[in-house]
Structure 1
Amino acid sequence: MTEHIENRLRSFYFSCMATNGDLELLEKSCQVRLVEKDHKVESSISDYFEESIFREANQMAQHYMTFYCLERSARNIIVGKLEAIHGGGWWGEKVPPNIQTSASQNMQRELDAGVTPRSESEIDYTTFGELGEIVKANWADFGDIFKSTKAFTKIMTNLNVLRGPIAHCSPLSDDEVLRLKLTVKDWIRLQST
């Protein structure tokens, strides 16, 4: 699949997610059900928590999904590009040493905790901010995808700030929901121009 088609599909997917979020807001304000939901999860989880917390979690779930897709997509772009250009040893050759160390420590922390490892790939143990640093450290390889270093840095910074409340279970205000939607559109546009 060509990069152009992938970018269009990614843009379409994020537009659908945004539309779904708008439908849910409309449902809430008009107190009418427009989208059928899976009630099995609601009935099991909602029995244990306050209704207000459950409703808030339900609203925040769409933003988590947006960010999950965004972060996984960024990881795929990085791996695909660096592996295509530098081969299988790209991690040791192209990732800044401090990020390699951080990923190794995160991998060891999971191993020591005795939990199922999230991945065998080091990139999955990096933070969102570190993903941006990997791209900037290898800008010559990514300049054909992300057309402007300044725009890339600005968008990544905005996304990293917006990620905080989502990752740490705090509700987003209406302004920040709008900012997230616009910043995701900026991210897609940056790759499409």
Structure 2
Amino acid sequence: MNAEEQVELFVLKCASLKIAVDDVSPGAAVDDIGVVLDQPGINSSLEQFSQEVRTNANRMAEYYKLFYMLENDIRKLIDDTLIEAHGADWWDKHSPNSAKEECKANQQREKDAGFTSRSDNELDYISFGQLGDIIRNNWDLFGGILSNQKALGRVMYSLNNLRGPIAHCGLLAEDEVDRLKLTVKDWFRLLEGPK
């Protein structure tokens, strides 16, 4: 898929999501950061924050959405590839021990806090960095999908560093916004496969 087709797919996905939101909350007011305001308590909560914080949240929301889609696409690629090769129980035999330990610890932390389980999929309980470890651990499969293992390491390292301010409510400097855009392009270049 070339860059133009990827942009077109992204725009179509966004339009589809907009239609779905409109179906759930037709005519609902949306504030400057995209939060539906007819939800009880949301409007009064948002009004408590300064305009600067609201503006920064709006700016960072775009990068969060991009990273959310990218990270979940990577998780899906891993899961789909390993299920196809090894079946639905691939996790036990084909994920590194460090990923298994992190998964168990995160599942236990949620359980101990009395939270509803976020997922039945172990991949949803590991950090972004562990995703690269799973790919490298199974390079015999991913080497036919991704173009280069060394480039994968560089791209995943860069994405993991960029993820920090996005996932932890920071701000991306303009240079880092440029780096994010280039690194996402690098990821899609990796997906073009070996040449």
Write the letter of the residue equivalent to 1:106. N
Query: Are 2:35 and 1:41 aligned?
Result: yes
Give the CA RMSD over aligned residues.
2.3
Offset at 1:189? 1.2
Question: What is the rounded CA distance, in whole Å, between the counterparts of 1:12 and 1:159 in structure 2?
Answer: 23
Matches within 5 A, 1:154-169: 154-169=154-169
Write the letter of the residue equivalent to 2:154. K
Query: Are 2:181 and 1:146 aligned?
Result: no
Instruction: Indicate how the Cα distance of structure 1 residues 97 and 50 shifts in structure 2: closer, same or farther if over 3 A, else same.
Output: same
Which protein, 1 or 2, shows the higher relative CO under an 8 Å CA cutoff with sep ≥ 6?
1
- Please name the residue that 1:99 is paired with: 99
SS of 1:49's equivalent in the other structure is coil
Deviates more, 1:96-105 or 1:55-64: 96-105
Offset at 1:38? 2.6
Q: How many residues are aligned here?
A: 169
Unaligned runs of 5+ in 2: 13-28, 38-42
Instruction: Indicate how the Cα distance of structure 1 residues 88 and 143 shifts in structure 2: closer, same or farther if over 3 A, else same.
Output: same
Instruction: Indicate how the Cα distance of structure 1 residues 62 and 79 shifts in structure 2: closer, same or farther if over 3 A, else same.
Output: same
Question: What is the rounded CA distance, in whole Å, between the counterparts of 1:50 and 1:97 in structure 2?
Answer: 45
Write the letter of the residue equivalent to 1:144. G
For residues 79-111 of structure 1, give each alpha carbon's deviation from its aligned partner in whole angstroms, at most 9, with x where no partner exists: 000010011221001001121111011011101
Question: What is the rounded CA distance, in whole Å, between the counterparts of 1:175 and 1:152 in structure 2?
Answer: 22
- Please name the residue that 2:51 is paired with: 51
Q: Is the 8 A contact 1:11 1:188 kept in 2?
A: no
What is the TM-score when the length of structure 1 is the normalising length? 0.80
- Please name the residue that 1:25 is paired with: none
For residues 122-163 of structure 1, give each alpha carbon's deviation from its aligned partner in whole angstroms, at most 9, with x where no partner exists: 110010000000000110010111110011000000000100
Question: What is the rounded CA distance, in whole Å, between the counterparts of 1:140 and 1:176 in structure 2?
Answer: 33
Unaligned runs of 5+ in 1: 18-36
Question: What is the rounded CA distance, in whole Å, between the counterparts of 1:190 and 1:67 in structure 2?
Answer: 17
Matches within 5 A, 1:117-136: 117-136=117-136
- Please name the residue that 1:173 is paired with: 173
Instruction: Indicate how the Cα distance of structure 1 residues 151 and 53 shifts in structure 2: closer, same or farther if over 3 A, else same.
Output: same
Structure having the higher helix fraction is 1
Question: What is the rounded CA distance, in whole Å, between the counterparts of 2:56 and 2:107 in structure 1?
Answer: 32
- Please name the residue that 2:21 is paired with: none
Q: Is the 8 A contact 1:106 1:125 kept in 2?
A: yes
Write the letter of the residue equivalent to 1:55. T
- Please name the residue that 1:81 is paired with: 81
SS of 2:117's equivalent in the other structure is coil
Question: What is the rounded CA distance, in whole Å, between the counterparts of 1:52 and 1:42 in structure 2?
Answer: 20
